[in-house]
């Protein structure tokens, strides 16, 4: 019975830590920004540098290492340093994997996905686009864009076979530029690992981690995730803390819960974000050491890239990626001081308004027409002007620099044409610009 109770207690403790990343005590403290008490911290921040993540800036100690996590620009995107030099090998290996994955899809279902295993060129120099699938719902389309020695990879899907998504993939690829870690762009867009995307996408996310030269067991992370049409109410720390407290009491570990040292627990205004902050030091338990666990969380706003869901965390006693596995090398005061010094520098990256003005002046006039085979002069919605029945959409979205296509039209009626075996075929037509793209800066 004792063994069973200990096992149950261990599981509950683990559940609490996983669910909220830190624990709560009943006492609530007001936010008190730490002043310097440590020469080590003073020396650590003598020289700092500014980095860009997403649409924001952050000041960090000079020797700090930045580790990039998952990122999204419409879909997941990641960067391979020096991958541009190995793109042929990378694409070849991925094609082999795609064919193996497609082998699990029944043959009769694959008939609706004829592009599986196909490789096409993208709009950028050296860009390759692969079509794969893991089920019959639609394609998984992957884009490989080499820029300099680096390689940017994006994965989209599932994309229904009737949806032409290549123009959107090409548009995103065409807006990526290489970026050094300390380089701060002046135009509107998103900073990601190794690059910058000058786009206003519907979906975006960026995550970064910091590793401190002076404290090797300390981890600092930021996750900024743009909300869609609703707020992530289920992630509210207050609600999660209350659930954790009830679980702890119900499982007989309420005493452990009460031994957690709470430095702060309450609301905090962090720049433009209103959120909740909790800073604690949990006691050792079994194989886990005592450790600092700080968190700031803001739900952000709906459909607002400048007010994303923001989750910031600080942990000590980390070995590898496992928490509470080493005796913390940092004191309570030092931990709070590093926390305050860094999170207080998070701010929106200012955009050079002249770059937006230049985009507005260079817009192609609505109503402009161009012919199949010409290069698109303006990202936006274009309408084909043929009077014949078109087998695809009459209005389509093209990006600047993309080659305007011919369209597939239905064969003309008539007995003679039927006897001659005439089929649906592609014809060159005129395209007319009818709407600017809302996702392009300056087009409104």
- What are the boundaries of each domain within the chain? 2-66+205-348, 78-172, 362-436
Mean pLDDT of 437-443: 48
- The candidate with the shortest Cα–Cα distance to 116, out of 94, 89, 146, 145, is 94
Query: Residue 423: what pLDDT?
Result: 57
The Cα 211–Cα 68 span in angstroms is 11
Q: What residue has token string 């909790």?
A: 278
- The candidate with the shortest Cα–Cα distance to 209, out of 221, 218, 199, is 221
Does the N-terminal peptide bond of residue 253 adopt cis geometry, omega within 30 degrees of 0? no
- The candidate with the shortest Cα–Cα distance to 325, out of 423, 219, 222, is 219
Q: How confident is the model at residue 339 (pLDDT cuts 50, 70, 90)?
A: very high
Question: Is residue 402 scored above 80 in pLDDT?
Answer: no
Name the 3-class secondary structure at 292: strand
Query: Residue 279: what pLDDT?
Result: 93
Query: Residue 178: what pLDDT?
Result: 93
CA distances to 170, 260, 310, 433 from 397, rounded to whole Å, are 11, 56, 32, 10
To the question of pTM greater than 0.85 for the whole model, the response is no
Mean pLDDT of 235-263: 73
Least-confidence region, from 15-29, 312-326, 399-413? 15-29
Query: Residue 203: what pLDDT?
Result: 92
Question: Is residue 444 scored above 60 in pLDDT?
Answer: no
Query: Residue 229: what pLDDT?
Result: 85
Number of H helices, E strands in the chain: 10, 24
Query: Residue 17: what pLDDT?
Result: 47
139 vs 258, more confident:
139
What is residue 285's DSSP assignment? B
Question: Is residue 29 scored above 60 in pLDDT?
Answer: no
46 vs 441, more confident:
46
Residue 210: in which H helix or E strand, if any? strand 204-211
Q: Is the dihedral of CA 370, 372, 376, 378 positive or negative?
A: positive
Q: How confident is the model at residue 385 (pLDDT cuts 50, 70, 90)?
A: confident
Mean pLDDT of 223-233: 87
Question: Is residue 124 scored above 70 in pLDDT?
Answer: yes
Q: What are phi and psi of 63, to 5 degrees?
A: -85, 5
Q: How confident is the model at residue 65 (pLDDT cuts 50, 70, 90)?
A: very high
Average pLDDT, the chain: 82
What would you report as the CA-atom Rg of the chain, rounded to the nearest whole angstrom? 27
Mean pLDDT of 414-440: 65
Homologous superfamily of 2-66+205-348: Mog1/PsbP, alpha/beta/alpha sandwich (3.40.1000.10)
Question: Is residue 256 scored above 60 in pLDDT?
Answer: yes
The Cα 210–Cα 64 span in angstroms is 7
**Residue 332: which residues within 8 A CB-CB, separation 6 or more?**
261, 263, 281, 292
Strands across the sheet containing 195-197: 176-178, 195-197, 190-192
Query: Residue 24: what pLDDT?
Result: 40
**Residue 373: which residues within 8 A CB-CB, separation 6 or more?**
403, 404, 406, 428
List, in sequence order, every beta strand (DSSP E) within 81-161.
119-121, 128-132, 139-147, 150-159
Mean pLDDT of 354-380: 67
């Amino acid at each position: 019975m004792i063994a069973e109770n200990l096992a149950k207690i261990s599981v509950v403790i683990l559940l609490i830590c996983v669910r909220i990343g830190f624990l709560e005590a009943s006492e609530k403290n007001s936010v008190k920004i730490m002043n310097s008490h440590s020469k080590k911290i003073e020396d650590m921040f003598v020289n700092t540098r500014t980095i860009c993540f997403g649409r924001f800036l952050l000041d960090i100690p000079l020797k700090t290492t930045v580790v990039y996590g998952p990122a999204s620009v419409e879909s997941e995107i990641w960067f391979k340093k020096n991958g541009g030099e190995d793109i042929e090998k990378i694409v070849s290996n991925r094609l082999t994997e795609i064919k193996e994955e497609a082998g699990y899809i029944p043959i009769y279902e694959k008939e609706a996905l004829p592009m599986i295993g196909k490789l096409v060129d993208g709009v950028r120099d050296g860009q390759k686009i692969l079509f794969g699938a893991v089920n019959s719902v639609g394609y998984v389309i992957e884009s490989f864009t080499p820029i300099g020695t680096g390689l940017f990879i994006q994965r989209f899907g599932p994309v229904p076979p009737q949806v032409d998504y290549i123009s959107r993939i090409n548009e995103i690829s065409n807006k990526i530029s290489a970026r050094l870690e300390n380089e701060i762009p002046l135009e509107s867009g998103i900073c990601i690992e190794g690059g910058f995307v000058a786009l206003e996408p519907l979906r975006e996310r960026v995550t970064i981690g910091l590793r401190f030269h002076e404290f090797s067991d300390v981890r600092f992370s930021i996750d900024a995730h743009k909300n869609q049409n609703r707020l992530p109410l289920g992630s509210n720390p207050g609600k999660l803390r209350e659930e954790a407290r009830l679980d702890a009491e119900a499982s007989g570990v309420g005493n452990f819960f009460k031994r957690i040292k709470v430095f702060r627990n309450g609301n905090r205004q962090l720049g433009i974000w209103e959120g909740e902050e909790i800073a604690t030091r949990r006691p050792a338990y079994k194989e886990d050491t005592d450790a600092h666990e700080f968190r700031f969380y803001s739900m952000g706003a709906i459909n607002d890239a400048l007010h994303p869901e923001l989750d910031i965390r600080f942990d000590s006693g980390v070995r590898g990626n496992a928490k509470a596995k080493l005796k913390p090398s940092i004191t309570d005061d030092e931990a709070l001081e590093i926390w305050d010094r860094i999170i207080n520098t998070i701010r929106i990256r200012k955009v050079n308004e002249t770059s937006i003005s230049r985009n507005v002046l260079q817009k192609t006039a609505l109503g402009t027409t161009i012919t199949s085979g010409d290069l698109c002069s303006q990202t936006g919605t274009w309408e084909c002007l043929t009077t014949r029945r078109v087998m695809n959409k009459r209005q389509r979205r093209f990006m600047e620099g993309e080659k305007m296509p011919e369209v597939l039209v239905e064969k003309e009626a008539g007995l003679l044409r039927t006897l001659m075996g005439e089929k649906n075929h592609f014809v060159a037509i005129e395209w007319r610009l009818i709407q600017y793209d809302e996702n392009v800066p300056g087009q409104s």
